[in-house]
Amino acid sequence: MKKYIYFDYAATTPVDERVIRSMTPFLNEKFGNPSSMHFFGSDAKKALEKSRVIIAKSINANPDEIIFTSSATESNNMALKGIAFNKRKGHILVSSIEHDCVLNAAKWLSKNGFEVDFLPVDKNGIVSPKEVEKRIKKNTILVSVMHVNNEIGTIQPIEAIGKICKKNNIYFHSDAAQSFGKIPIDISNVDLLTISSQKIYGPKGAAALFIKNGVKIEPLLHGGGQEKGLRSSTENVPAIVGFAKAAEIAISTMEKEKERLTKLRDKIIETLTKEIPNCYLNGHPVKRIYNNVNVRFSFVEGEAILFMLNSYGIAVSTASACSSPKLEPSHVLSAMGLKQEEAHGSIRISLGRWTKESEVNYLLKVLPEVVKKLREISPYK
């Protein structure tokens, strides 16, 4: 049988066996609704609140500042629309390289009475704090800049941006789905923060939004008043328990994993850019998350590389999983100033907990040959 190798951890991660074991009792034994008053409900409620404490501790927040949601997409929509609906009018600043769920939420708000501007990035995908300050208006109510970009792995200066927002009495939201559990997060200058389970070897269907005490938002969902009345719906206790367990594991192994994956990441970057002519790194060479490699190859399309690597049993991606079916070039790479053909010639290689050096070596053996074969038949030469 063909061996399959996974290099798409930025899209989603397999669920850790330890996480699965923590979830199992809440699927068939302790299955109660946490809003129920009997002991089945009490057991579920205790697990829910214990998980809230664990998640809060992982980002140095208070438990009552954590609202559980179903996904990072929901958390991001809740942050942007929740602030907007509460303020009723105003100006919103969003970076031009946000995940589609943030960009599309912002665009929707622009059609519903809000003024929205998109912050540019430099050639490495960095948002300038000075540019944020320059674009703030008297009626600005919210700034949203992601912590780590999902495509190119660039780490944004959210501490500096947050301080600017605080000085101007403006709410600051950051999508930390790609950074949570991988690098430390400082919430002292953040008002709202999105984190996700499926990016840290937890189950899909669980995420959270940190809402700093005192920040007022309007709920998107109305019903029984769960999650402090901000997210009505019966909580997904098994997934939330798994999320908390995944967070515990990720935080406790963070430094060790950083050291291991940084070496593998750098090996990939150095080998590809040295051995393959006209191969370039996308994103900041230093200020990037340690499990992300985004590279572009002249005279060949990224999708062709993806499909040929797939035939060798290697899984990579060309953009974020949520937008990969689109024919347009990546909005992230376009915002960085790459030409259409350059953006189309890019692939993302993302590493994770079960990535082995032998798998990296196999990739580095196969990928140069794949690019060579595709260039031989490429019409772009």
Cβ neighbors of 102 (< 8 A, separation 6 or more) are: 76, 80, 94, 144, 146, 175
Six token digits for residue 29: 């034994």
Distances (CA, A) of 353 to 9, 94, 287: 9, 32, 21
Distances (CA, A) of 350 to 153, 155, 233, 289, 334: 9, 15, 34, 10, 20
What CA–CA distance (Å, rounded) separates 115 from 93?
A: 9
Six token digits for residue 200: 């840290």
Contact 7, 291 (CB under 8 A): no
Give the chain's radius of gyration (CA, Å).
21
**How many angstroms from the chain centroid is the CA of residue 75?**
11
Positions annotated as catalytic residues are: 322
Count CA within 13 A, CB hemisphere, residue 272. 29
Beta bridge partners of 296: 280, 346
Count CA within 13 A, CB hemisphere, residue 65. 23
Strands (E), the chain: 5-6, 66-69, 91-95, 115-119, 140-144, 171-175, 192-196, 207-211, 279-281, 292-297, 314-315, 346-350
Contact 125, 154 (CB under 8 A): yes
What CA–CA distance (Å, rounded) separates 113 from 90?
A: 8
Nearest to 106 by CA among 134, 140, 76: 76
**How many angstroms from the chain centroid is the CA of residue 238?**
22
Which residue is it, tokens 């399309």? 301
